[in-house]
Amino acid sequence: MIDSNRVLIFDTTLRDGEQSPGATMTHAEKLEIASMLDEMGVDIIEAGFPIASEGDFKAVSEIARQSRNAVICGLARANPKDIDRCWEAVKNARMPRIHTFIGTSPTHRAMHALSMDEMAERVHDSVTRARNLCDNVQWSSMDATRTEWEFLRRTVEIAIKAGATTVNIPDTVGYTAPVESADLIRRLIAEVPGADEVVFATHCHNDLGMATANSLAAVEGGARQIECTINGLGERAGNTALEEVVMALKVRHDIMPWSTNVDTTRIMNISRRVATVSGFPVQFNKAIVGKNAFAHESGIHQDGMLKNAETFEIMRPADVGLSETSLVMGKHSGRAALRAKLRDLGHDLAENQLNDVFVRFKDLADRKKEVYDEDLVALVHQNDGAEDHVRLQTLRVVCGTAGPAEAEMTLEIGGTGQSVTTSGDGPVDASFNAVKSLFPHEGRLQLYQVHAVTEGTDAQATVSVRLEEDGRIATGMSSDTDTVVASVKAYVNALNRLIVRRTKSAPGSDIKEVSYKDAGE
């Protein structure tokens, strides 16, 4: 049993977060995010769903091998094949965990065509099999908050007797409310034999905007593990946001006397990175990590801040790793200053990485009067497309009120430059038409989103593009002071990812994709 004053943080950004349509990460990106989570003090990292694909299996396996601090967990449905595959993926971790689940609500029983007795037997068999392989087993009752009390109680008892060490009570569709969340955990602990010997966990979705409140209420009821994701990433309206529950416990320790092991000064850095690799920008007014979370425009607010920051800020920007001063770099800044600044922002780059960023920094500084922290972060994460099949070489656009816009473009495709001139309804449309003309594809544009990295007419624009082709979804992101150039780079980035997915799912590929439809909590 853990310290009753400790709350374990179980991060599922790489599993449940990645199930957000368009949020799929590359192998290298998964390893990078896992490393950042491990370093910031997350207790358990759910690294993926190993049975889903060969790619997911390899990612979970490598994360298991590289982990230094966290428990590494894989997800498995309630069947022998899933559980065995999960164990193969996590067994080399310093601290492995198998997480197996089944939907227990009437809706899920009907979907699986199982009676209560049949489902109870499957719970017993799956947990028993997992426990025979691994000492650390988590069992989840998917859609627990819509499961009949007596059946939920029965299945929880079965899971505990079969050897589960953690029992998770998910609010899979964001249906519950805080008072219910607390009461459900409290009642299970009080009435289920053996409940005092295991850790109860909560996994809340945000469909009604109460995921954080429900998770904290569950802790009040006796849960000692919160399942969450960076930025609240996840299916539909997302999951409980890690940064919200961690900072709530830290700031309101007076009424919530529980602590976590998370280094909160790393929150902003990983938030930005997850936003970049997932293609899901953080909304400006998002709690803790949003652009406006520590911004003050109202005269009354500004006056109060000048006199005493605590007047309108309940936490310091530095508490979450946000630099309180932005404008320090310019075209006369040298390599040493850039390295020091990037370290302050949480990026300790190798020499070759620093050289690459320095070249792009100098180019940006020549085009911008002021280079902000956010600009530097965008440069660090800017994809140079060195290994991409399609790359943008040159782009020239003509637009205005006098007629259709034109785009004159040269793409490098498989190492060969190809050029075309096309028109469209505006410069972005014309440029995207040029890409499709040079590299025909069936990808359908699902999302096109632009936001400024910093202020001013010379600000870098960060563009997110999501493409869909035959059920495959890929997201690209890029930044540039020219919005049209950023748009094309993001489009090409998404297209390159789509090419990779197309190749992996082609006949003869060694990567066999499996449906995720039963992998939700």
Annotated binding site for Mn(2+): 16, 203, 205, 239
Binding residues: 16, 203, 205, 239
Helix or strand (DSSP H, E) at 100: strand 96-103
**Which sign, positive or negative, has the C-alpha torsion 286, 142, 70, 27?**
negative
Residue 15, token pair as written in the block: 């599993």
Contact 123, 161 (CB under 8 A): no
Pairing of strands 461-469, 472-480: antiparallel
Rounded to whole angstroms, how far apart are CA atoms 482 and 363? 13
**Which sign, positive or negative, has the C-alpha torsion 382, 384, 387, 390?**
positive
H, E, C per residue of 194-227? CHHHCEEEEEEECCCCCHHHHHHHHHHHCCCEEE
| Strand ranges of the sheet holding 416-424, from the earlier edge strand across to the other edge | 390-398, 405-413, 416-424
Give DSSP secondary structure letters for 14-40: TTTGGGSTT----HHHHHHHHHHHHHH
Nearest to 186 by CA among 217, 221, 225: 221
Rounded to whole angstroms, how far apart are CA atoms 17 and 456? 33
